[in-house]
Structure 1
């Protein structure tokens, strides 16, 4: 029996999650429909723009994303502390960019005087909005619903556009995080719609490579801040150069017209995460097929199951990432 979403997403275990939404109709989410000849490529821009807009409002960071022909991948980081530090006014200003709120929250945001009972209602509403702005389900709702309405209007039809609710995977440790991000960034190469990571349209890796050429990191995305250390700033626990090199080298090998092997000694990120080159290639090519709701190393999964009073289940439910 499937577990409730509230049980699948537990910030006490990990702030990192991989989410996937799939299109339900034969008509493509993006790209070209070979039957009708219609082109939906422009919808990729809709989704990318909406996703990065939401990242500027929610206390949820975008680690990686890939917008494919009939589904989207996002790797998310929930920054609960950031949301808790927002003032009431900041919460309302963020929420009002998505929804009208209430008459009282609108007046408060404009600096108008309110009576005590109204102020209490405003504070209550702000706490509700604060919780929503760090909730993955709300982010995916705010991403998917507008896209569905736009696509239905363009297709001149009604009904479901997305295949039920989104799928989510908990990424319990750094090895699971790195593997999932690389898997997402390499999706277009495996689908044969691009030749290299840096030419993969509507992906996070393209944005990161473009920014790296100017020795910068893209503002809409969660930054790489280097390997774990004392007084570590907020960000992904890897060196940007290590990660880009890993994705580039892996991308060259997963293409069918290329053959080769990764020398783990050349890639510090694999050494630090204790991932063999053989395991890495398997992970990068088949992460989606080989993993379930919880992904991590053996110790991480054992701790997760113990804390949730779960029995270890087959590979379809809980997955040991590394041998």
Structure 2
């Protein structure tokens, strides 16, 4: 079967929600593996021109929300510094390489995710003396608009542990960007594209998305939980497909603009922007045609 085309703003500044799952959905990722995976993500986040906005590492898949930089804004000096630091090479050696090719690679979302997955799978196979694929199908990516759509998507992935019933509150789950920010360990996480840069205000937003209504702007609990509500987060207890299976998420104008830019990849009947249930003012674009 032919692969579907990936909607990717190559060489441009853009935000994405990335999801990748283990082969067969196997629960390979324990605490040790999650720690290693996060180290790999951070390592390649320093090499590639990709900012990490959020993450959630689960037992059989991971979520990332990232921003790619515009290639034209990346200087030769930045490339030399990152490549020499990552590979332990002399800056003079790196300057002899094809910097234009390196610039294109280091700004590419697919190359970043491929490097993360390849590095981790090699480590896992060595550690467990196994062979074969670790990751399943190609990673999924959703093109996001900054602002409301980005914030809603980031909150959605922070709520994964609550949906999976492995945490009562999203901030209790160790392997998410929310817990790292609250613990003061989120220095590697970017706030770019978000309407707030305050972790308590962000926590309140996550609860608002979940319709818990239990945290104010300063992170303090307010009100009482209804007796028939066991968990503080109640709205997105089930998967919301447009966050992972959609193609574009944002305002109606952003979605329709994406259609014009990627029209060769999209079925004509999918031209309209679909209103997303439960998220005011956010629309989605769905389904790609098959590659030929």
Aligned-partner SS, 2:23: coil
Alignment map for 1:243-258 (pairs within 5 Å): 243-251=202-210, 253=212, 257-258=230-231
Q: Is the 8 A contact 2:16 2:142 kept in 1?
A: yes
Structure 1 unaligned spans of 5+: 32-40, 111-118, 212-216, 224-234, 262-280
Larger Rg: 1
Q: What is the aligned partner in structure 1 of residue 49 from structure 2?
A: 59
Question: Are 2:5 and 1:4 aligned?
Answer: yes
C-alpha offsets along residues 236-273 of structure 1, whole Å, 9 cap, x if unaligned? Answer: 33113432211134457499723788xxxxxxxxxxxx
**1:1-323 maps to which residues of 2 (within 5 A)?**
2-5=3-6, 8-10=7-9, 15-25=14-24, 27-31=26-30, 41-80=31-70, 84-87=74-77, 90-99=78-87, 106=90, 108-109=92-93, 122=96, 125-211=98-184, 218-223=186-191, 235-239=192-196, 240=198, 241-251=200-210, 253=212, 257-258=230-231, 281=235, 285-288=238-241, 291-309=245-263, 310=266, 313-314=269-270, 319-321=274-276, 322=280
Q: TM-score with structure 1 length normalisation? A: 0.69
Q: Distance in 2 between matches of 1:73 and 1:218?
A: 16
Between 1 and 2, higher relative CO (CA 8 Å, sep ≥ 6) is seen in 2
Report SS of the residue matched to 2:120.
helix
Does the 8 Å CA contact 2:55/2:62 hold for their aligned counterparts?
yes
**Partners in 2 of 1:194 and 1:68 — Cα distance?**
12
Partner of 1:230: none
CA distance in 2: counterparts of 1:130 and 1:209, whole angstroms = 34
Using a 3 Å threshold, how does the CA distance of structure 1 residues 294 and 2 change in structure 2: closer, same or farther? farther
User: 4+ runs of 1 displaced by more than 4 Å?
Assistant: 11-14, 97-100, 249-252, 310-315
Closer/same/farther in 2, CA of residues 97 and 13 from structure 1, 3 Å limit: closer
- Return 5+ residue gaps in structure 2 as ranges: 214-227, 282-292
**Aligned-pair Cα RMSD in Å:** 3.3
Change (3 A) 1:259 1:132: closer
**Aligned partners of 1:318 and 1:312: how far apart in 2?**
12
TM-score (norm. length: structure 2): 0.75
Aligned residues: 258
- Report deviation, 1:286: 3.4
Partner Cα separation in structure 2 for residue 285 and residue 200 of structure 1: 18
Over 3 Å counting, the alpha-carbon distance change for 1:16 and 1:4 in structure 2 is: same
**Would you tell me which structure has more helix in proportion to its own residues?**
1
Query: Deviations 1:118-177 (Å, cap 9, x if unpaired)?
Result: x7xx2x522222222111111111111111112222332211110132111111342221
